[in-house]
Structure 1
Amino acid sequence: MASNSAPGAGYECGSDNDGGLHKPLLPNSGSCQRTGSRQPSLNAAGTSSRAVLRESHVSAFLCTLIVALGPIQCGFTSGYSSPTQDGIIRDLNLSISEFSAFGSLSNVGAMVGAIASGQMAKYIGRRGSLIIAAVPNIMGWLAISFAKHTSFLYMGRLLEGFGVGVISYVVPVYIAEISPQNMRGALGAVNPLSATFGVMFVYVLGLFFPWRLLALIGTLPCLFLIPGLFFIPESPRWLARMNRMDDCETSLQVLRGFNADITAEANDIKIAVTSANKSGTISFQELNQKKNRTPLILGIGLLVLQQLSGINCIVFYSGSIFKAAGLKNSNLDACVLGALEVLATGVTITFLDRAGRRILLIISSCGMTLSLLAVAVVFYIKDNISHDSDMHNILSMVSLVGVVAYVIAFCFGMGAIPWIIMSEILPVSIKSVAGSFATLANWLTSFGITMTANLLLSWSAAGTFASYMVVSAFTLMFVILWVPETKGRTLEEIQWSFQ
């Protein structure tokens, strides 16, 4: 790199005025001139508004790709127990209950990470939080890889979970804070897309590698993430929150392109952050104010409903459903399901900043409700007919199609958008506390669903899917009645709308 700072008002290449801000490997990073203002003319030779727009997209996109290694790690952690169950139980002589504890401990660690994530992101920044989260992830995978008994397995899983809990909050917040408003939805969807890719990645590798080597491979996302974080700027909104206004402007200029006029956006950030800084310590009375209470309820509500719809139960037990449909290779079937998740989430990215968040949530919730209704009805009928009949086999295939349709509908909206909306609507003044609480609520609900799934399915498969269908129907009404559209609005405009 030619210098350690990006050009802002009165900055020169190679200056030391960036306060430790690392300059990313972005376009034009080495070609800058001293400017007396951050309002360069867009009519200069070789520069157009379209080129400036494209440059801002490229800068934010490259930063997003680097932090997306974190969600890949989350997906890898979530999916690891599926292809490795037989090998770990056999090699370490575990019982089913001991392996179930191993799988669920990542949720426990994630709860602890979620509690700590807000304060970490507040005081040491988004980049610093991700570096800290990456270290226990690496340690956790090493502990699992070299485990000789359950203590190392459990410790490794808890360490992974802690890192995942921090990553699951910090990454969507960072992406929302660096993205241009017309690309925030698409870039925000890279977070869940990367997570689903991580799940598919571990499923596919699980077909070829033993569990110890697979655990070593699990260290790679974070091993690449740590050095990558040193080449991207810190969130300009966090820098402003820390009263580092010069660094804020430098970071924003890097993210929007060196020919972009950042004056209006920088002023909006300063006004919003100045107002937030006046509030000081957050109290319950402040959280209960309408301007904070409404976005807090919306953020927590969407993340809780996301898990209450039963996605973890259905994905976790998809192998048994595939077997009931007559399919033999459950691991290969899981890979196919993972690929469909990636595809559906990828399609969501193309529509987020065109159609908007709200309409996609409505379509997703509606598709989930209808799919779960079909699956519940099919299982109810199957329980009342002979297992040897042709109708039973036909209904098994219909149930398989219904489950796949549910997963696709979930990934089309409810899988990605709740995290995006949470990161968009929470005001800066309460984001550290409220964001941690929302993330904790999500992981706590996930833990509850995972722990009760087997019991519910043993009680009644039809009743289980019917209960998830009721939650999805309520989610549909929740979105229609209360969730606002955030497409095409700055974070400051969204937060001011609740006042």
Structure 2
Amino acid sequence: MSSRDESEDLKKPFLHTGSWYRMGSRQSSIMGSSAQVIRDGSISVVLCVLIVALGPIQFGFTCGYSSPTQAQIIEDLNLSVSEFSVFGSLSNVGAMVGAIASGQIAEYIGRKGSLMIAAIPNIIGWLAISFAKDSSFLYMGRLLEGFGVGIISYTVPVYIAEISPQNMRGCLGSVNQLAVTIGIMLAYLLGLFVNWRVLAILGILPCIILMPGLFFIPESPRWLAKMGMAEDFEASLQVLRGFDTDISIEVNEIKRSVASTSKRATIRFSDLKRKRNWYPLMIGIGLLVLQQLSGINGVLFYSSTIFESAGISSSNVATFGLGAIQVIATGITTWLVDKAGRRLLLVVSSTGMTLSLLLVAIAFYLEDMVSEDSQLYSIFGILSLVGLVAFVITFSLGLGPIPWLIMSEILPPNIKSLAGSIATLANWLTSWAITMTANLLLSWNSGATFTIYTLVAAFTVVFVALWVPETKGRTLEEIQGSLR
């Protein structure tokens, strides 16, 4: 193939993002001159993943924002604890609306187009929070950024799963959650040095970088194939796999997979009654709901408050340390998931979570039995800190990244838009309930709160052992065929 032909082929997949924008000649020439750089398909896929990972970083920044800013916002705007709890939980309400819309948006204008749309309310939301003079602007901003995050939380794992080769899908799919944890850690870190208004302005940066970055990556080949865009589909896949790679086998597999799915077909709830549809949906919903019922967002959103109640001084520094540990643990999972498999990591993760949450619950129960002046009080505070760190580590080893990965792998293409929206909505609805109640439950009884989370983690072990299939080393088409 000549360099000119290669350059022209390279342009094709970059020119399409759901038929709603076209790159100018300048961008096209840049893409053509980059042909030699991304000849290796694995490099091309990694670059695509790194760009869309800015979305989950935004997701994580939203989750982490409320922890280091709670005291400042309450003082500056004269809010009560319950009013701040509403603020913290409103991102989940917005995300529920975004989740409902996410499947159809991603279906009709493509994965890239939906991420572009998601970036806009995020930017407006952060600006509203930064300039808020009362709770109304604060709440509106939180709702808007939540809406964008709801779209991001569905679209990014689906896009990564659809562009990744089977031997790298677990690793690259876990980058989604790794990016979330990086976003959380950045919010914790920057919150040590800047006030809440400046921190909100900094929250805009991931989406500001993401929007132009989307012009430089190809659309999902599986989405293009489903939309009947055969030429763009093959060109996109060739860029992702490398120009020297024979993609004929994968092209035929994808064509067979989407052959029964008509372009822009209307999906009805009655379609979910078939076992090949409801079974993977049940697994996806189950994992995403259990992920949130473990209490992780309650811990991350209000970690500074939890550390203070445990008697830990410098709670914001401890919170940043927790975020850094989460990033490291999730990074380890990214390396392990294609080697150890999804099921094993989920079992190890949920078992570890059960034990660590039990330790936290016992520590809080014992702490209530002694006076704050006692040496035992400090010991129990350290035990609760150890338990929380172990909880975050074990969560990050499996139940954090893998539910989103499995959801994106097992949902059949003909129902992915509807089923994916339902599963994402279930996740955000549960997250809202946990975030809304965590502060109040911790004020009521910390030991009892963590006992509830312990029981959920124990049930997760059973759920994974009985129902979750192993998807390691199989193509998306093979996984969906095995569930029929």
With normalisation by structure 2, the TM-score equals 0.92
Is 1:420 aligned with 2:405? yes
Helix, strand or coil at the partner of 1:264: helix
Is 1:100 aligned with 2:85? yes
Query: Cα deviation per residue 1:24-63 (whole Å; 9 max; x = unaligned)?
Result: 978984359xxxxxxxxxxxxxxxxxx98xx222111000
Aligned equivalent of 2:123, options 138, 141, 151 = 138
Is 1:189 aligned with 2:189? no
Q: In 1, Cα distance between the equivalents of 2:247 and 2:10? A: 18
Residue in 1 aligned with 2:326? 341
1:4–1:426 CA distance, 2 compared to 1 (3 A): farther
Residue in 2 aligned with 1:284? 269
1:13–1:288 CA distance, 2 compared to 1 (3 A): closer
Structure 2 letter corresponding to 1:79: G
Q: In 2, Cα distance between the equivalents of 1:335 and 1:24? A: 43
Aligned equivalent of 1:214, options 189, 199, 202 = 199
Is 1:59 aligned with 2:36? no
How big is the shift at 1:279? 10
Structure 1 letter corresponding to 2:454: M
Helix, strand or coil at the partner of 1:428: coil
Helix, strand or coil at the partner of 2:113: helix
1:12–1:79 CA distance, 2 compared to 1 (3 A): closer
Moved more, 395-404 or 261-270: 395-404
Residue in 1 aligned with 2:389? 404
Unaligned residue ranges in structure 2 (runs of 5+)? none
1:338–1:273 CA distance, 2 compared to 1 (3 A): same
| Cα root mean square deviation, aligned | 2.5
Aligned equivalent of 1:313, options 287, 298, 304 = 298
8 Å contact from structure 1 (residues 3, 13) kept in 2:
no
8 Å contact from structure 1 (residues 4, 14) kept in 2:
no
Helix, strand or coil at the partner of 2:261: helix
Structure with greater helix share of residues:
2
Aligned equivalent of 1:30, options 32, 35, 58 = 35
Residue in 2 aligned with 1:368? 353
Is 1:124 aligned with 2:113? no
Helix, strand or coil at the partner of 2:194: coil
Query: Cα deviation per residue 1:234-279 (whole Å; 9 max; x = unaligned)?
Result: 0000001100011100000000001011111111111111123389
Moved more, 181-190 or 90-99: 90-99
Is 1:237 aligned with 2:242? no
Q: In 2, Cα distance between the equivalents of 1:354 and 1:27? A: 36
Is 1:72 aligned with 2:77? no
8 Å contact from structure 1 (residues 4, 18) kept in 2:
no
Aligned counterparts, 1:426-465, within 5 A: 426-465=411-450
1:176–1:91 CA distance, 2 compared to 1 (3 A): same
8 Å contact from structure 1 (residues 5, 14) kept in 2:
no
1:322–1:96 CA distance, 2 compared to 1 (3 A): closer
1:243–1:4 CA distance, 2 compared to 1 (3 A): farther
8 Å contact from structure 2 (residues 161, 405) kept in 1:
yes
8 Å contact from structure 1 (residues 321, 400) kept in 2:
no
How big is the shift at 1:382? 2.9
Q: In 2, Cα distance between the equivalents of 1:18 and 1:487? A: 33
Q: In 2, Cα distance between the equivalents of 1:141 and 1:306? A: 26
Q: In 1, Cα distance between the equivalents of 2:437 and 2:10? A: 58
Q: In 2, Cα distance between the equivalents of 1:470 and 1:57? A: 41
Helix, strand or coil at the partner of 2:313: coil
Aligned equivalent of 1:377, options 362, 378, 381 = 362
How big is the shift at 1:390? 2.7
Structure 1 letter corresponding to 2:225: A
Residue in 1 aligned with 2:237? 252
Helix, strand or coil at the partner of 2:405: helix
Query: Cα deviation per residue 1:300-338 (whole Å; 9 max; x = unaligned)?
Result: 000000001111122234323423444321111111010
1:391–1:238 CA distance, 2 compared to 1 (3 A): same
Q: How many residues align?
A: 475
Residue in 2 aligned with 1:473? 458
How big is the shift at 1:12? 5.5
Q: Which has the larger radius of gyration?
A: 1
Aligned equivalent of 1:154, options 139, 147, 150 = 139
Residue in 2 aligned with 1:163? 148
Percent identity (aligned): 63
8 Å contact from structure 2 (residues 174, 333) kept in 1:
yes
With normalisation by structure 1, the TM-score equals 0.90
1:101–1:456 CA distance, 2 compared to 1 (3 A): closer
Q: In 2, Cα distance between the equivalents of 1:216 and 1:92? A: 18
Q: In 2, Cα distance between the equivalents of 1:250 and 1:166? A: 26
Helix, strand or coil at the partner of 1:353: helix
How big is the shift at 1:218? 1.1
Residue in 2 aligned with 1:84? 69
